[in-house]
C-alpha cells in the first residue's frame, strides 16, 4: 500500500512539497487541505487564503539570491547548499510558466547605486529577482495545480484544520470540526495567517519552539518618479538604515514600482501589503518600511505582540487600515479625507481611514520611521516630502520556529513543517524551498 501524506495549506510551501512528493511515478498518495477557496472560485480581494496561498495575488517577486529573508534556515544549510535549492526551485518556476527576466540585468549600474547609497550611510541590498506580477501569477499557480491534479493529488478546500491529534509521540489525525483526516505523515504549511494557530498547536503537542523576529511599521506610497531611476535598474531594492535616536534598523522591503497598496486580511485583523502588475500600472510606487522587533523577558512572544499592535491600529481605523500624510505625522495632526483629497497625488488604496498612526504604533517605531525616511531622502529625493503617504499596520508575522532537523521534521517523527507560518521562510521562493526540503524528508 502506498504511503499516505496530508499537507495542510496550499501556499507555495504546500504546492512545491506536493510537486516534489509526486515527481516519480510510484509516488505517495497526497492530499492537500486548504481553508480557503479553490483557485477558480477565489475572489481577487482574498489575498491570504485559498489555493496558491498568499502567493497567488502577491507581487510575485521571486528572489534567487540567498540573502536576508532566506536566512531562516541558514542554521541548517550552508549558503552553497541553499543555492542549489534556489536553482532547483527556479527551474520549476520556469517549467510552470514564469517568463519574467532576471534583474538587475546590468550589474555595474546596480553596483554604482550601491556605492552611492553607502556614501550616504545607507546599505542597499540587491537580490537577483524575477518579477512575475500579480496579473500573471495566478496562471503559474494554475499550471501547478493542473499538473498536481493530473498526478492524482486531491485538493480539499474550504476546510480549516483546527486540531492536530497526537498519541505516544505520533500524529494520529488532524481534525476540522468533526471531520477526521488520517495519514502516515503530515506536513503543516499554514503561512502567516496560520502562524498563531500553529504556535498554539505546538504548545499543546509539547514541541519546543523559539520565538522569531517580527517586522512592524508602515507601507510608504509616493509618486513613481521618486524611485524610478533605481527601480529601472533593479526591481528589488532593499535599503537598510540605522536610526540615530534608538540605533534600530529600519528597512524597505517588497518594493512595488508603479504598483498598488493592498489589504492583507488575517481574518481577525487587517494589515497592508503591496503588489504590482506586469501589464497595468499606477503612477505611484510603494514599499514596506518596517523595523525588525525581537522581545526577550518576560515575554518573547513577538507574534502576539505584533497582532495586538495591528488590532489597536484597526480599532482606530474602524476595521480599516490607517492612512496618514507624512507631513501630518511629523506635525502631530491626524490626516482627514479633505487633506488626502488635496494631497499632491492620490492613494491607490482607498478602503482606509485617514487618521494618526502615532496613536497606534509605539513611539520608538514611529521615531524610526520618521528618521529613516529623512535619511532615505539622501538617495531617493522626494521620499521625505509632506505628501508621502503612510499606511498602517504593515506587520510581517513570522511563525515561531519549532525544533526541526534538515528535513524540517519536528520532534514528532511523522510531523513535518514548512513555510512562513512555522518560521522556515519569509517569501515565496523560501516557502517553496522549505516545502521541497520537507518533501524529501517525508518520502520513505
Ligand atoms: C499582497 C502580498 C504581496 C506579496 N508579495 C510578495 C512578493 O512579491 N514576493 C515574495 O516572495 N513574497 C511576497 N509575499 C509573501 C508571500 O506570499 C509569502 O511569503 C508566501 O506565500 C508564503 O508561503 P507559505 O506557503 O508559507 O504560506 P501561504 O502562502 O500564506 O499559504 C498558507 C496557506 O495555508 C492555509 N492555511 C493556514 N492555516 C490553515 C489551516 N488551519 N487549515 C487549512 N488551511 C490553512 C492558508 O489559507 C493559506 O492558503 C506577498 C504577500 C502578500 C499578501
For 320, the domain range is 214-396
> What cell does 357 get?
498612526
Task: Identify the burial level of 38 via C-beta atoms within 10 angstroms of its C-beta, where 0-12 means exposed, 13-18 middle and 19 or more buried.
Answer: middle
State how far Cα 211 lies from the chain centre. Answer: 17
* 180-236 confidence digits (pLDDT tens): 999 999 999 999 999 989 999 999 999 998 888 899 999 999 999 999 999 999 888
pLDDT at 350 over 50: yes
Asked whether residue 360 is assigned to any structural domain, the reply reads yes
For residue 50, the ligand 1 atom closest to its alpha carbon is 49
Q: Give yes or no: residues 390 and 421 share one domain.
A: no
Q: How far, in Å, is the centroid of ligand 1 from the Cα of 149?
A: 21
Instruction: Tell me, yes or no, whether 199 and 264 share the same domain.
Output: no
* 436 Cβ below 6 A of ligand 1: no
Dist. CA 244 → ligand 1 center (Å): 34
- Torsion, CA 82, CA 84, CA 89, CA 95, rounded to 10: 170
State the DSSP code for 76. T
Provide the pLDDT for residue 127: 86
d(CA 264, CA 54): 9
Please indicate, yes or no, if residue 285 is contained in any of the structural domains.
yes
Same domain, 179 and 240: no
For residue 125, tell me if it sits in a domain: no
DSSP, collapsed to helix, strand or coil, labels residue 28 as coil
How are strands ordered across the β-sheet holding 129-131?
A: 61-63, 129-131, 102-103
Domain harbouring 90, CATH code = 3.50.50.60
Check whether residue 242 and residue 387 sit in a common domain.
yes
Sign of the torsion formed by the C-alpha atoms of 102, 108, 114 and 120: negative
Ligand 1 lined by 12 (C-beta under 6 Å): yes
**Cα-to-centroid distance, 50 and ligand 1 (Å):** 9
pLDDT at 222: 98
Residue at 62 is within a domain: yes
271 lines ligand 1 (CB under 6 A): no
Cα–Cα distance between 255 and 219 in angstroms, integer? 10
The rounded distance, in Å, linking the Cα atoms of 205 and 198 is 10
Q: Does residue 78 share a domain with residue 94?
A: yes
**Cβ atoms of residues 434 and 416 within 8 Å:** no
10 C-alpha vs ligand 1 centroid, how far in Å?
9
Give the pLDDT of residue 70. 47
Q: Does 442 score more than 60 pLDDT?
A: yes
Whether 352 and 319 have beta carbons less than 8 Å apart is answered as no
Number of alpha helices (DSSP H) and beta strands (DSSP E) in the chain:
11, 23
Residue-wise pLDDT tens digits, 114-124:
999 999 999 99
Q: Which of 46, 53, 130, 214 to mutate to test the pocket of ligand 1 (most atoms within 8 A of CB)?
A: 53
Across 243-263, b (16+ Cβ under 10 Å) vs e yields beeeebebbbbbbbbbbbbbb
Q: Are residues 436 and 373 in the same domain?
A: no
Cβ–ligand 1 contact at 72 (below 6 Å): no
- Measured from the Cα of 49, ligand 1's closest atom is 47
Q: Is the CB of 306 under 6 A from ligand 1?
A: no
**Ligand 1 atom closest to Cα of residue 428:** 11
Instruction: Classify residue 118: in a domain, yes or no.
Output: no
- Structural domain includes residue 126: no
Ligand 1 center to residue 221 CA distance, Å?
23
Q: Is 90 in the pocket of ligand 1 (CB under 6 A)?
A: no
- pLDDT-based confidence at residue 135 (cuts at 50, 70, 90): confident
Distance from residue 431's CA to the centre of ligand 1 (Å): 8
Same domain, 347 and 421: no
CA–CA–CA angle 328, 334, 335 (5° rounding): 75
Residues 254 and 160 in one domain: no
Query: 316 and 178 in one domain?
Result: no
Structural domain contains residue 353: yes
Considering Cα of 372, then 427, then 197, then 50, what sign does the dihedral take? Answer: positive
Calculate helix-pair angle for 79-95, 12-21, nearest 10 degrees.
90
Is 322 domain-assigned? Answer: yes
Amino acid at each position: 500500500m502506498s504511503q499516505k501524506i496530508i499537507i495542510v495549506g496550499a501556499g507555495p510551501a504546500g504546492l512545491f512539497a506536493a510537486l516534489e512528493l509526486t515527481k516519480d511515478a510510484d509516488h505517495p498518495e497526497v492530499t492537500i487541505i486548504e481553508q480557503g477557496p479553490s483557485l477558480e472560485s477565489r475572489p481577487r480581494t482574498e489575498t491570504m487564503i485559498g489555493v496558491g496561498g498568499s502567493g497567488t495575488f502577491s507581487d510575485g517577486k521571486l528572489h534567487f539570491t540567498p540573502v536576508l529573508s532566506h536566512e531562516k534556515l541558514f542554521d541548517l544549510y550552508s549558503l552553497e547548499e541553499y543555492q542549489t535549492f534556489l536553482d532547483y526551485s527556479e527551474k520549476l518556476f520556469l517549467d510552470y510558466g514564469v517568463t519574467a527576466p532576471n534583474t538587475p540585468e546590468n550589474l555595474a549600474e546596480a553596483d554604482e547605486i550601491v556605492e552611492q547609497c553607502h556614501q550616504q550611510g545607507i546599505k542597499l541590498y540587491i537580490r537577483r529577482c524575477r518579477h512575475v506580477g500579480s496579473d500573471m501569477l495566478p496562471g503559474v499557480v494554475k499550471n501547478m495545480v493542473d499538473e498536481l491534479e493530473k498526478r492524482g493529488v486531491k485538493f480539499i478546500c474550504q476546510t480549516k484544520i483546527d486540531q492536530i491529534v497526537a498519541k505516544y509521540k505520533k500524529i494520529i489525525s488532524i481534525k476540522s470540526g468533526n471531520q477526521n483526516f488520517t495519514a502516515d505523515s503530515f506536513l503543516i504549511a499554514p503561512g502567516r495567517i496560520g502562524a498563531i494557530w500553529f504556535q498554539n498547536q505546538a504548545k499543546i503537542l509539547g514541541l519546543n519552539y523559539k520565538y522569531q523576529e517580527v517586522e512592524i511599521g508602515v507601507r510608504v506610497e509616493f509618486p513613481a518618479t521618486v524611485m524610478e531611476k533605481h527601480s529601472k535598474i533593479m526591481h528589488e531594492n532593499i535599503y537598510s538604515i540605522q536610526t540615530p535616536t534608538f540605533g534600530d534598523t529600519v528597512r524597505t522591503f517588497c518594493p512595488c514600482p508603479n504598483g498598488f497598496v493592498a489589504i492583507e486580511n488575517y481574518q481577525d485583523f487587517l494589515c497592508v501589503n503591496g503588489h504590482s502588475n506586469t501589464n497595468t500600472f499606477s503612477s505611484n510606487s510603494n514599499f514596506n518600511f518596517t523595523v525588525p522587533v525581537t522581545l526577550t523577558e518576560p515575554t518573547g512572544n513577538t507574534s502576539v505582540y505584533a497582532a495586538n499592535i495591528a488590532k489597536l491600529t484597526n480599532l482606530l481605523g474602524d476595521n480599516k487600515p490607517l492612512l496618514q500624510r507624512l507631513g501630518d505625522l511629523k506635525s502631530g495632526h491626524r490626516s482627514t479625507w479633505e487633506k488626502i483629497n488635496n494631497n499632491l497625488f492620490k492613494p491607490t488604496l482607498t478602503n482606509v481611514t485617514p487618521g494618526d498612526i502615532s496613536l497606534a504604533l509605539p513611539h520608538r517605531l514611529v521615531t524610526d520611521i520618521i528618521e529613516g525616511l529623512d535619511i532615505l531622502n539622501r538617495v531617493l529625493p522626494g521620499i521625505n516630502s509632506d505628501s508621502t503617504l503612510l499606511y498602517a499596520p504593515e506587520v510581517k508575522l513570522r511563525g515561531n520556529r519549532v525544533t526541526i532537523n534538515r528535513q524540517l521534521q519536528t520532534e514528532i517523527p511523522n510531523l513535518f513543517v514548512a513555510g512562513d507560518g512555522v518560521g522556515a521562510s519569509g517569501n515565496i521562493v523560501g516557502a517553496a524551498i522549505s516545502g521541497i526540503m520537507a518533501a524529501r524528508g517525508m518520502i520513505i
